[in-house]
Structure 1
Amino acid sequence: MKLLRLILPGIAMIASTYGLARFSFGLLLPDIQDSLQFSNLTSGTISALFYVAFCFTITISTIITIKKGPRKMIFAASLATLFGLLLMGLAPNIYILGLGVLLAGASTGLVSPPYGAAISLWIEEKKQGTANTWINSGTSIGIILSGLGALLLTPHWRITYFIYALLTFITLLWNLKIIPKQSMYSTRMVLKRGDYSIKGVEGSVKLSTASVVLGICSAAFWTFSRSFFESAGSYEDWQLSIFWVVIGSLGILGGFSGSLIEKKGLAFSYRIATVLLSFAFILLAVSPEKWFIAYSAAGLFGGSYIFLTGVLLVWGIRVFIHNASLGIGVPFLLLAVGQVIGSLSAGLCIGFFGYAFTFILFGCASLIASFINPKKKQTSPSI
């Protein structure tokens, strides 16, 4: 299969699941909260459903993809996204909203493993790293669209979700047309049934530790950077939305992580990404009241985070060399586990010490994470 034939619908699907269904919620939350009248505690509880659903469904998706192949899981992710967005748009109360959030969060867990499997099946080996990282960068496209949606359609959050649902439906049809049916599977299929354990797999401990630590660190920025930015100066709503768009715009550069890995190696790419992630935290902590510096921090975070998830993705596939689905499922699952821990700990830290200290602390933690790096020489995935 030609590279772009699989990458483009893959990018669109990741944009729908991660960007429109998941990350748009934080931007639209103030208007949703005003409309449905619920507390900040309820907001936090509903937001946590994204992570809970992700942790559960990425495990299920990994196992089913190994047994059945990628097409069914990509279709399931599309439906979860579509119905999640529709329920959030129609929600008359917090219970229907929570159900929609649960489905939207589930879609992100369902969608990641099957694309890794599809790439290992139908893209030639030397292009697989590039394909994985570019599809992963679809998150940035979705973040940009969600930022523009908040900018143009505020406070019409219901209309925004309906538009997102329409885009998701188009993406669903596109993917069903492109992803081959089971009868068309290659005889070179690398997915193997059997042992799903990471125990004893060389490099799995480092990969797992790095994923959790980076999940903890990144959650602080995802959850609280916009609030930090808003509290630091007299910003208009459009400036707050642009902050999010900047994160997504620079995140597209994360698609180049596959090329850098090929040229400079996995260890070098990982260190660069973690150091830049650390700088993003510290930069925002220094001068959040200056929009140029705040936007620079947002761009640095967006680029380094998407770049870093691409690195973890390639690292995982190289560790679990005979099982691309497990190679994506393990680091992404542990990244989400870390983000649950990070959101809670950052919230407590902000309550006691304030935004600036918390962001500096988490920035330093990101810097420490740079030492949990992959081996300099890592075997490339084979088919």
Structure 2
Amino acid sequence: MKRPLQSSSSAQEPLFAVSAVALIAATYGLARLGYGLFLPAFAASFSLSSTMSGILSSGASLLYCVSAVIGFRFAGGHPRAVTLLAGSTAALGSVGIAGAQHTMVFAAAVLLAGMGAGFASPALVELVQRNAEPARQGRLQSIVNSGTGFGVVAAGLLSLSLGEAWRIAWVLVAAIAAVSMLAVLRLDGSAGTIPALDRPAPSLLTRSSFRGLARPLSGAFVFGCGCAAVWVYGRATLEQAGGMSAGMSAVVWIALGVGGAAATLGARRLADHAIALTWSVTTLGTAGATAWIGSSQGSLVPAYAAAALFGLAYTAATSVLILWASEATADSAAATSLLFTALVLGQAAGAPLTGAMIEAYGPAAAFSAAALTCAAGALAVTGSRRRVHPPARR
């Protein structure tokens, strides 16, 4: 329990929200998910096959989970320190990517950069609770989570404008991560408050940590397995199988990010409807978009529409996970870390499997299988009648 914030926190809330969105954009949309966008350039520079690209993506996902576990344990009591870790790892890893001359150095930098996202989610869930009025916390959590879409847009613009100069792009990613981290720490209105009651750090090894989370954990894992196809191989598939130019595929990625950013428009609706409805709609929408992208053969308008739908549905689904965590457990930061860990573990499992399927059966079959897996994630709410509400309404 923390002493509630009054006065100055309300005035700083919009600026804090912008900085938090920027940090999610930097850690998720750029430092972590930017790997898939720049994969064609990385593969050419470091001779990466589809299978090896998937293995590296899986390694980044596993280290994301390590950082999420650390965030799970410490964000509740030390959100500012975890925020510092989020921005620092994303920035340092991005600098390493920009300067890598050897494959091993590049791989290590990719792994480090991806850790920032794992730290960011639990830290910002806690900071949003400290800096927002209770009635607005649910909506603000969804808005901050949509920063992924803005980061994907930024990554696409960097790729489109800089072309083969991808090293410069990753220097800029490092700068964005560092600046957004400093902005969050500067605008955090809870910086000087004193805890009213110390709460013990949560443990992953207790039953209470998982109580109420069985359905969302299973749904997040299965959903993550299917999502890996687009995040890791989406752009490469559009170029190699769909026949798109590098510039056109970058614009498709921008459309994906625009769709993700547009999820902010539905933040209130997500917070006001039943989980059984919102989770089903968003996971099935992601599934349809995944199959659509895999079957796009050089058709620009359908590819743009499919990418935008994927970005919108995926980002909304992750927002539902955050709201589900807040509803299911008392410690929403810890629960969010567990659910996002399950999501990324699913991506870690799905990435190499999709890569192997692409090499064996082609992208259309691999993306169709990924779409069916995304759709299977919707089964997690079968029979559930739980509703999603902002914390203040519970």
Would the TM-score normalized by the shorter structure come out above 0.5? yes
Match of 2:351 in 1: 343
Q: CA deviation at 1:119?
A: 1.7
User: Does structure 2 conserve the Cα–Cα contact (< 8 Å) formed by 1:48 and 1:340?
Assistant: yes
Q: Percent of aligned positions with the same letter in both sequences?
A: 24
Q: Answer yes or no: is 1:288 the counterpart of 2:297.
A: yes
User: Does structure 2 conserve the Cα–Cα contact (< 8 Å) formed by 1:133 and 1:256?
Assistant: no
User: Does structure 2 conserve the Cα–Cα contact (< 8 Å) formed by 1:211 and 1:334?
Assistant: yes
Find the aligned partners of 1:154 and 1:171 in 2 and give their Cα distance: 25
Q: Answer yes or no: is 1:218 the counterpart of 2:218.
A: no
Match of 2:65 in 1: 55
Find the aligned partners of 1:132 and 1:211 in 2 and give their Cα distance: 18
- Residue identity matched to 2:338: V
Q: Residues 232, 102 of structure 1: CA spacing in aligned structure 2 closer, same or farther, 3 A cutoff?
A: closer
Match of 1:248 in 2: 257
Q: CA deviation at 1:379?
A: 6.5
Matches within 5 A, 1:127-146: 127-146=136-155
Find the aligned partners of 1:234 and 1:349 in 2 and give their Cα distance: 19
User: For 1:218-238, what per-residue CA distance to the aligned partner results, in whole angstroms no more than 9, with x for missing partners?
Assistant: 112212222332233332111
Q: What is the aligned counterpart of 2:128 among 105, 119, 135?
A: 119
Q: Residues 191, 295 of structure 1: CA spacing in aligned structure 2 closer, same or farther, 3 A cutoff?
A: farther
Find the aligned partners of 2:131 and 2:190 in 1 and give their Cα distance: 12
Match of 1:237 in 2: 246
Q: CA deviation at 1:40?
A: 5.2
Match of 2:31 in 1: 21
Find the aligned partners of 1:38 and 1:379 in 2 and give their Cα distance: 45
Match of 2:174 in 1: 165
Q: What is the aligned counterpart of 2:236 among 219, 227, 233?
A: 227
Q: What is the aligned counterpart of 1:368 among 350, 357, 376?
A: 376
Q: CA deviation at 1:192?
A: 5.0
The one of the two structures with greater contact order (alpha-carbon pairs below 8 A, sep at least 6) is 2
Q: Residues 379, 367 of structure 1: CA spacing in aligned structure 2 closer, same or farther, 3 A cutoff?
A: same
Find the aligned partners of 1:78 and 1:368 in 2 and give their Cα distance: 34
Find the aligned partners of 1:290 and 1:204 in 2 and give their Cα distance: 41
Q: CA deviation at 1:124?
A: 2.0
Aligned length: 380
Secondary structure at 1:268 match in 2: helix
Find the aligned partners of 2:206 and 2:137 in 1 and give their Cα distance: 22
User: For 1:9-51, what per-residue CA distance to the aligned partner results, in whole angstroms no more than 9, with x for missing partners?
Assistant: 1001011111221122222233334344555555444333321
Q: CA deviation at 1:315?
A: 0.5
Q: Residues 376, 194 of structure 1: CA spacing in aligned structure 2 closer, same or farther, 3 A cutoff?
A: closer
User: Does structure 1 conserve the Cα–Cα contact (< 8 Å) formed by 2:55 and 2:352?
Assistant: no
User: Does structure 2 conserve the Cα–Cα contact (< 8 Å) formed by 1:318 and 1:327?
Assistant: no
Q: What is the aligned counterpart of 2:56 among 46, 65, 72?
A: 46
Larger CA deviation: 265-274 vs 307-316 = 265-274
Q: Answer yes or no: is 1:277 the counterpart of 2:286.
A: yes
Q: CA deviation at 1:376?
A: 3.4
Find the aligned partners of 2:288 and 2:370 in 1 and give their Cα distance: 10
- Residue identity matched to 2:109: G
Match of 1:261 in 2: 270
User: For 1:64-118, what per-residue CA distance to the aligned partner results, in whole angstroms no more than 9, with x for missing partners?
Assistant: 113x321111011111111111111111212221221121111111111011111
Find the aligned partners of 2:295 and 2:45 in 1 and give their Cα distance: 35
Match of 2:80 in 1: 71
Match of 1:326 in 2: 334
Find the aligned partners of 2:332 and 2:198 in 1 and give their Cα distance: 8
TM-score by length of 1: 0.91
User: Does structure 1 conserve the Cα–Cα contact (< 8 Å) formed by 2:278 and 2:320?
Assistant: yes
Q: CA deviation at 1:195?
A: 4.8
Q: What is the aligned counterpart of 1:377 among 387, 390, 393?
A: 387
Q: Answer yes or no: is 1:12 the counterpart of 2:10.
A: no
Find the aligned partners of 1:234 and 1:259 in 2 and give their Cα distance: 39
Find the aligned partners of 1:186 and 1:265 in 2 and give their Cα distance: 34
TM-score by length of 2: 0.89
- Residue identity matched to 1:29: L
Find the aligned partners of 2:71 and 2:282 in 1 and give their Cα distance: 28
Q: Residues 31, 261 of structure 1: CA spacing in aligned structure 2 closer, same or farther, 3 A cutoff?
A: closer
Match of 2:4 in 1: none
Q: Give the root-mean-square deviation of aligned CA atoms.
A: 2.4
User: Does structure 1 conserve the Cα–Cα contact (< 8 Å) formed by 2:37 and 2:232?
Assistant: no
User: Does structure 2 conserve the Cα–Cα contact (< 8 Å) formed by 1:215 and 1:342?
Assistant: yes
Secondary structure at 2:20 match in 1: helix
Gaps of 5+ in 2: 1-8
